[in-house]
Copies of this chain bind each other. A is one copy, B any other.
Amino acid sequence: MKLGEGVEAAIHCAAMLAGVDGAATMPGAAMAEAFGLSPSYLLKHLNMLTAQGILESVPGPAGGYRLARPAERITLLDIVLAVEGREPAFRCGEIRQRGPVRLDASAYVKPCGINAAMLKAERAYRAALAEARLSDIVAAYQSDADPRSVAAGCAFVARHQRPQKSSSTKQA
């Protein structure tokens, strides 16, 4: 059981995008630089997030990414599912009917109890992720983390975000 590294990158990027002002955007290259990631690969993951309606992208010289909705309505589950896919971690291969003792198909209409138990645990996992809002993550970071780290993060966002044409933004 393993989660891809893209999940960590996606959550950090989303948390960073929660700090940009209004409709301003942040280039993917800037976020790749901020976390020491390869730009071309990070864009793949950001693309997954835009495809799922979590991020919005703006092309062009002043373009970049921004959250598609307020951080209060984005959960860690949204991000994890967007990057890792919606399929459950446990996939029942129905090996109970793969042996040499072939019974009629009608003997297997009831779902496999093992599969049910595994999926129940996975629902608990997803429920816990669904309760973690991106705004909570950001708030906890700003109140708990080292002030130097918070200041550096805010400075980075202020330096790299690009205000959009038809919106009023306040530059820090």
Residues of A at under 8 Å CB distance from B? 1-5, 7-9, 11-12, 15, 33-37, 76, 80, 84-85, 89-93, 95-96, 98-101, 103-104, 106-110, 113-114, 117-118, 120-129, 132, 136-137, 140-141, 144-146, 148-149, 152, 156
Which B residues lie within 8 Å of A101 (CB)?
Answer: 34, 152, 156
Interface of A is mostly: helix
Give the Cβ gap from A106 to chain B, nearest Cβ, in Å.
Answer: 7
Return the contact of A117 from the options B2, B76, B148 (Cβ within 8 A). Answer: B76
Residues of B within 8 A of A34 (CB): 99-101
Note all chain B residues with C-beta closer than 8 A to A80. 1
Are B152 and A35 in touch, CB under 8 angstroms? no
B8 x A90 contact (CB < 8 A): yes
